[in-house]
Structure 1
Amino acid sequence: MTTGTRTYQDAIVSLNTLQSNAAALEALRNQPKTTDTSLSESVEFLRRIGYQQSDLNRLNVIHITGTKGKGSACAFTDSILRHAVPSWTVGLYTSPHLVSVRERIRINGVPLSEEEFTKYFYEVWDRLEENPPAPYEPRMPMYFRYMTLVAFHTFFSLKVDATILEVGIGGLNDITNIVPEPIATGVTSLGIDHVGVLGHTLGEIARHKGGIYKEGVPAFTVAQPVEGLEVLRGMAKERKASEFSVLQPIEALRSIKLGLPGIHQLSNATMAVSLCHTFLKRKAPPTIEIADEPTSLSPAFIAGLENARWPGRCQQVVDPVREKIRWFLDGAHTNESLRCCVDWYVSPDVGLRAMTRPKRVLIFNCTKGRSGSEFLGTILEHISQQLRLYGSQQLQDAEGTLPHGAFFDHVIFCANVTYANGSFKGDLTSTILKDEADQLATQKEIAAAWASLVPGFPASNIHVLPSIEHAVKVVRDLETKVDGGDVDVLVTGSLHLVGGTIEVAGLAEVAL
């Protein structure tokens, strides 16, 4: 698709010349724990593309952060607002993307088209080129900051009625935090698995997350560990939030089939309901009646919750070409989220749904620096718990209950490289650190850990592969050897792995 002579592919190439998210995260791990100048730089970038910081208030922002569940909370929030006021134009900005960078900017639930993305991308690019920076200021922002500017410009151009912004990293110094006065702010779960990942304590993480609280703006959080909760409470007071609310799960949600499966979604749905209730109390047209309490769920709220979609999170799709293959996609990448993934997958409605046992394949990877051995241990231990909980005939062999290690027939540990020739889909290039793509050391370590954790697992069924395309080929070769049976494939450990699988396996039409 073109804008003038410039195409969507040109935009992706230009975008990938900027510092990647993965590189930014690596730099964040290594930098001193001091307040940086990113917010002032972000305001300057905004000025260079033609907007003042105060203009952002016109976007009517709901701002959401957290270490777990923030994306799901954004998806619920977006869906509720669209169902509550169908005439509105609702903008949603999230990260990372699974397959196409266009997924990060959605209008009424739909990613920008290639034409739209190219148009807004180059309008921002050209404005930055035409308005040079002050001395010692960077000429171009890094990848995530640039994408946020494109999102802001898109939402201004399309005159959205409401905007849901998901924080990229942290909160306090994130570019999304330059919005002076959002309508409401929320912090989802402070997952304890993230403590230490950036060299921070839970209190320090909470302080960064609570940095999105603003003077005169309602501040919400779900229940948190004591240390984190007290820091958030202090941040709300320090930043003069109009109120600070610790949300308990709304009981009425338990009787609703949420569009995003898993018991852990109750917390995220509760956050979304509370944010939307606050937002609509202030911004809804007079013809829309809003309940006095958020716990009184209207039909529109229920429809929004039931119809929420968030690709790559506890998602199952049937392969559009190989109908015997069913893909189970979850980008879980912490111990906590992997336990939630197993809770979802190893259950009667999902992975244990069949009367006859399918062939099961695990495709797994984790980013460098995370403990693959620990993650696999979490998966195996939780599978055992689920099998004891749901012990059924299909889980037993002649010796008794099937051991957790035999739950999968094949395990595949592959790099996040998209294609077998070592190349990446352009939209996915920025998500991979180069040293992770150059060798298979991490995948070999994970495979060795599996062999140690599951003694007797056939070595021939443990696959270490250099690309996602290789992994998909193993699955499809296996499917041709299954005589009339089904093949279930659980893909987890990394959102980038899930996104690459959707791309290579041709699942975009049914998954995104």
Structure 2
Amino acid sequence: MSTRTYRDAVEHLNSLQSNAATLEAVKVSGGRSSEFAIPEMIEYLERVGYTPQQLNALNVIHITGTKGKGSTSAFVDSILRHAKPGWKIGLYTSPHLVAVRERIRINGVPISETEFTKYFFEVWDKLASSPGKVPTTPPMPGYFRFITLMAFHVFWECKVDVTILEVGVGGTYDSTNIVPKPIVTGITALGIDHVHVLGKTITDIAWQKGGIFKEDVPAFTVEQPVDAMKMLESRAAELKANSLTVVSEGPDVSEVKLGLAGMHQKQNAGLAVALARSFLQSRSEDFTKGSLLPDSFKDGLVGARWPGRCQTVLDPKRTGLTWYLDGAHTIESLMCCMQWFVSPEVGISPSEGANTKFLIFNCTSGRSGEAFLRQVLETTHVQLIKHGGDRDSPFFDHVIFCANVTYADGHFKGDLTTRAIDPTDLVELKTQQALASAWLTLSPAFPPSQVHVLPSVEHAVKLVEQLRSKGRGASQVLVTGSLHLVGGVVEVAGLSEVAI
């Protein structure tokens, strides 16, 4: 054990990743590996030394949705830390930006490399030394399943008072959905983007998400499309949820200057308030007296931080350079991203003409890059009309499409390693070339010489450095389309200390 390092842990964990072919097979199946998904997860849990019933003691707030579930989880975490400063609060989210240990936080802080290594190998060794009961169950779980098991182990060992548990994908068959009785469940906005990717209807998606409802457990959601809401109501009745409450942001939340930027965060904040209030009431805490929104809740909303989501970062080393980071990877989230960036408070300013604007963009293969870029351009146009910006010339000076590979030598940072990219796509930069072609088709007035296709994040950052040295004034760089891309930029540009 003494010779095992954090790097060793990350390498072991990366060995559990699925390759591009496997992920494509899962996608074709609609995200349902099979009816064996939950039984297999329970088997792994028991091999680690726990029963599902023991997880109830973690006092879980379970959150899913197609967009906003990470931000909502961050709001709940911040609210509870401000409302109950003496508590130990666990937060489990995905994906991470720079370091995998970001996924498991206690009192808002990622567990340390030393802690990650310790708990990782405790789980790894138990799984490696215990034979499986069912021959068809793989000996070791996949990447996300393993991290989920590890999170349960960490929170149990650290004796947390509450666990905020974000679903990975879906709900019904998700690895997190083995807690028999959470304290409260919540579903954020259900968009149609993932529906298009999986070839499913909004009703299918609502069925999946509603799978986190549990008998006699209160459930909350936000306003949803009509068909989605009908399915959620049906699932709530089927699974005997205590109640299903539709939450609006309310004037008390609307008046708070949230710690997370973007108008869409009001809805997430409203849901977070309802979840936190319900949890505290289950603990006989009365937060309804006096103000509709207690000061501790307001402080939590103001103090919430969630890296890589509509985040503004002043470069600590490069004077006059500001990074705007948003891991938006759906059509709807990209619209929210551009509404945030193309605004007087962010990308439109009196000195606009003197600023050099860059867009660094990538999306995973299989997603509709052309549709994504159309959303970027259309929302930019609408925002410029709304705010009186210059519509006669391109909004961005340079557009960079780069692969998510971290370094120029073709290697990934250990925590950012991914096997989900088709090797052929990576070598030939098919996705990035297609994005460049789509951009020029959608924006024919844009100078082709200012569209750049690059093989790594490091190439992109270096190009920004080179091009900004030729210009005058400040430089603004929007990085979006992929959380993995955002994490790579944070790593390569040396932004971790100020961004994470």
**TM-score tier (shorter):** over 0.9
Segments of 5+ residues of structure 1 without an aligned counterpart are 396-400
| Cα distance in 2 for residues equivalent to 1:21 and 1:495 | 19
Rounded to whole Å, the distance in 2 between the matches of 1:477 and 1:237 is: 59
- Out of 3, 11, 16, which is 1:13 matched to? 11
Alignment partners' CA distance in 1, 2:460 and 2:24: 27
Match of 1:342 in 2: 338
Partner Cα distance (1:464, 1:239) in 2: 49
Amino acid at match of 1:429: T
SS at match of 2:176: helix
Opposite residue 82 of structure 2, the aligned amino acid is H
**Secondary structure, in 3 states, of the residue corresponding to 1:174?**
coil
- Cα 1:292–1:198 change in 2 (3 A) is farther
**Are the counterparts in 1 of residues 329 and 363 from structure 2 also a CA contact under 8 Å?**
yes
Residues 303-357 of structure 1, C-alpha deviation per residue, up to 9 Å, x if partnerless? 0000101100000101111021100000111111111001100111111135343
Q: How far does the alpha carbon of each residue in 1:420-473 deviate from its partner, in whole angstroms, 9 at most, with x for none? A: 111101111136424343330111111111111222322221100000100000
SS in structure 2 of the partner of residue 262 of structure 1: coil
Aligned to 1:398: none
Provide closer, same or farther for how the CA distance between residues 500 and 342 of structure 1 changes in structure 2, counting only shifts above 3 A: same
The alignment status of 1:324 with 2:320, answered yes or no, reads yes
Structure 1 pair 122/104, CA: closer, same or farther in 2 (3 Å)? same
Distance 2:40 2:443 in 1: 51
Q: State the match for 2:287 in structure 1.
A: 290
Report if aligned partners of 1:416, 1:432 keep a CA contact under 8 Å in 2.
no
CA offsets per residue over residues 220-254 of structure 1, 9 Å max, x none? 11110010000000000000001111112222111
CA contact (8 A) 2:248 2:271 kept: no
Q: Which consecutive segments of 4 or more residues in structure 1 shift more than 3 A?
A: 20-25, 32-35
1:390 aligns with 2:354: no
How far residue 131 of structure 1 moved from its aligned partner, in angstroms, is 1.4
The question of whether the paired residues in 1 share the 8 Å contact of 2:360 and 2:399 is answered with yes
Counterpart of 1:348 in 2: which secondary structure? coil
Range with bigger deviation, 433-442 or 196-205:
433-442
Distance (Å, rounded) in 2 between the aligned partners of 1:110 and 1:221 = 27
Is 2:424 the partner of 1:445? Answer: no
Match of 1:368 among 365, 369, 391: 365
TM-score by length of 1: 0.94
Cα distance in 1 between the residues matched to 2:447 and 2:196 = 35
Look up the match of 1:228.
228
**Which position in structure 1 is the counterpart of 2:196?**
196
| 1:477 correspondence with 2:474 | no
Structure 1 letter corresponding to 2:128: E
Specify the alignment match of 1:162 in structure 2: 162
Deviation track 1:123-150 (CA, whole Å, cap 9, x = no partner) reads 0001112211124132110000000001
Partners of 2:71 and 2:26 in 1: CA distance: 24
Matches within 5 A, 1:86-485: 86-136=85-135, 137-283=137-283, 289-291=286-288, 296-357=292-353, 358-392=355-389, 395=390, 401-403=391-393, 406-430=394-418, 432-435=420-423, 436-483=425-472, 485=473
Preserved CA contact (<8 Å) 1:324 1:479: no
How many correspondences in the alignment? 496
Which amino acid in 2 is paired with 1:69? G
Residue deviations 1:4-37, cap 9 Å, x none?
A: 1100000011001103497664332122668421
Question: Is contact 2:280-2:286 (8 Å) kept?
Answer: no
Match of 1:47, as an amino acid? E
- Tell me the amino acid that sits aligned with residue 459 of structure 1: P
Contact preservation (8 Å) 1:416, 1:437: no
Which digits, 9 at most, give the CA deviation of each residue in 1:354-383, with x for residues without a partner?
Answer: 534310001011111111111111111111
Aligned partner of 2:490 in structure 1 is 502
Residues in 1 aligned to 2:133 and 2:337: alpha-carbon distance in whole angstroms: 48
Which segment drifts farther, 153-162 or 14-23?
Answer: 14-23
Partner amino acid, structure 1, of 2:461: V
Query: Letter of the aligned partner of 2:255 in structure 1?
Result: S
Q: 2:24 aligns with which of 26, 45, 49?
A: 26
Aligned-partner Cα distance in 2 for 1:26–1:98: 23
The answer as to whether partners of 1:77 and 1:273 remain within 8 angstroms in 2 is: yes
Which whole-Å CA distance do the structure 2 matches of 1:482 and 1:275 have between them?
48
Match of 1:384, as an amino acid?
Answer: H
Instruction: Report Cα offsets for 1:45-77 as digits up to 9, x if no partner.
Output: 111111111000000000000001000000000
The aligned amino acid for 2:342 is V
Q: Distance in 2 between matches of 1:430 and 1:507?
A: 21
What is the CA deviation profile of residues 109-135 of structure 1, one whole-angstrom value per residue up to 9, with x for unaligned ones? 010100000000000001112211124
Distance 1:117 1:468, change over 3 A: same
Q: Is the 8 A contact 1:420 1:466 kept in 2?
A: yes
CA contact (8 A) 1:78 1:109 kept: yes
C-alpha separation in 1, matches of 2:422 and 2:490: 21
Residue pair 1:22, 1:430 contacting (<8 A) in 2 also? no
Note the residue ranges of structure 2 that are not aligned, 5 or more in a row: none
Quick one: distance in 2 between partners of 1:497 and 1:105?
A: 21
Give the TM-score normalised by structure 2.
0.96
Q: What's the Cα RMSD here?
A: 1.6
Q: 1:409 to 1:261 in 2, by over 3 A?
A: same
Report the residue type matching 2:301 in the other structure.
Answer: L
Task: Give, in whole Å, the separation in 1 of the partners of 2:171 and 2:381.
Answer: 37
2: distance between equivalents of 1:356 and 1:489?
13
Query: Sequence identity of aligned pairs in percent?
Result: 57
Q: Equivalent residue of 2:428, what SS?
A: coil
The separation in 1 between residues aligned to 2:350 and 2:103, in whole angstroms, is: 35
Q: 1:208 to 1:356 in 2, by over 3 A?
A: closer
* In 1: Cα distance, 2:117 partner to 2:299 partner: 33
CA deviation map 1:380-406 (0-9, x unaligned): 1111111111115xx3xxxxx434xx1
